[in-house]
A and B are shown apart, each in its own frame.
Chain A
Amino acid sequence: MKIAWSVCKYLFVFLIVLISLGPFLWMLMASFKTNAEILTNSLGWPSHFRFSNYAMAFKIAPISRFYINSVIVGIFGTALNLLILGMSAYVLARFQFRGKKLLMVVLSLSLLIPGAAMLQPLYLTVNGIGLQDRLIGLIIVYAGFGLPVSLYILSSYFLTIPKEMEESAYLDGAGFIRTFFKIILPISRPGFGTAAVLQFLLCWNEFQFAVILTTSNHSRTLPLALYYFKSQFASDYGVMFAATMVVIAPSILVYVLMQRQVVSGLAAGAVKG
């Protein structure tokens, strides 16, 4: 029984690692291959490790410019989203008030609106308030796109925090806002960490709205760079995968850093009784 369980467990872990790492390694290989090599023999090693794909990626698409923009959009889009949603998720998780259920359902709608139906209305809205082709426009829109996910994650996390935590703070004479920032935020780091990872990835990878809402290279983000290598009659997969590697590297870094946040929640969790 115990052995069977162990075998199953390791097999499962092995499979998960295989299907996760396999495509990634394949892409890493492909980023060193010529187009012809990718389209002929996708398994083997590249004939030699050519960095020309990486050089080409930077040459053909304005990657460095887009990089800066993506970093700004990623950081502020995430910060804005977490701040706003942290506040409302806390209230929605903790307090009973009239219209709460209705509000929750209405906010849940944001999870369900098809992207294609939002393209034109959002274009009109963003133009209407004069934020087209501005990073701040993308930051606000992405903060909005992450609304439902962050709301669900954070409110579900707040529910795990025992009420006594705040009650004792109030007894100590702390006010509402102070309690939120001083007591609740620090022990919710695991929740915020996960929400931050997802929100950052959203800001980092979104393509369709970035095309519609920006017009100049001053305010465009990295996902657009990938499409410089994929046109109808001339796709260069080698360069595209090289560019993809360049694009995902910081995401991996952010994730690894954020994981520390998630882990350090362990200590905070011990505080709770």
Chain B
Amino acid sequence: MTTGAVTTGAVTTGTVTTGLSLLDLRLVFVTGKGGVGKTTVAAGLAQLAAEQGRRVLVCEVDAKGDVTALFEAPPTDFTPREIAPGVWSMSMDTEASLREYLKLHLRIPVVGRIGPLAKAFDFVATAAPGVREILTVGKFCWEVRESHYDLVVVDAPASGHIVGQLAAPQAINDLVKVGLIRSQTDWMLDILSDPRQTGLVAVCTPEEMPVNETLELAERVRAETTVRLSAIVVNRVLPELFGQREEEIFEQLRRPGNEATLSERAGGDVAPVLEAARLAVTLRRTRSAHLQRLQAGLPDGLPVLLLPYLFARSFGARTTRQVARALGEELGL
């Protein structure tokens, strides 16, 4: 009943020249307005990279278990676990991250003193803005530096929050003159600011508000962070039902006389079927306009990858593979 391979239709990007380089990055943050499917894209990207032979760590920041659900695996915690061949998953936990950080960098024996330390941490994290963000981003950068994985994919906070998170190392750098945190932000900034290592992927849908927000995000990322926007993924692109000729014929078929004949021949009222097609065509058309607006508003040369709307009964490992395949096609793999 569902069509596995839905073509994305007429809107082509023509700018996918850096296709391979997206998978060649070491750290990719996937963000987007809430509800546009950024987790789906993060999972698809991880799946694709793994299929291409890379060891991938996919990190969930919100810890809702959505990433692992897309691989039909049980939720993970701070310790990474392999959830699909070549794909490891972990959930961000700032307190666990602090513990790891103290152990690695300060050699502070944490066991047995965790109570007061957790309190102190809570306090410092709240009092010193950016500490929480640093621990989150720092963990990802650390995984990159230690080369435990070829690629770290982060299912990052929504676009309203991502800029604050990515700007945190710089902010801390400005605020803190000396001390351990300061010495830590330097190497993090090196990784985050290197476009060959780190990239941001913004996910949106071809709708009014998501497009607006994506254009706004592109500008803020440029102005307020040192991270480069590597690609835009447009999710849920509806298939193009008809070309121009088909549409003329469709209009002929919808004439009252023809509709009645069709109903008679088919043995039932075809009006709802035709109405659904009209809805699909209209939706597709409105969305195309937003897609064009998006492309016009983005910097030249920024790859825009289109993912088809999935008419799926449910979302799981199968749809994740479909997304991976579609991404691979868009990247020219």
A and B: interacting chains = no
| Residues in chain A within 8 A of chain B (CB atoms) | none
Query: Taking beta carbons and an 8 Å cutoff, which residues of B are in contact with A?
Result: none
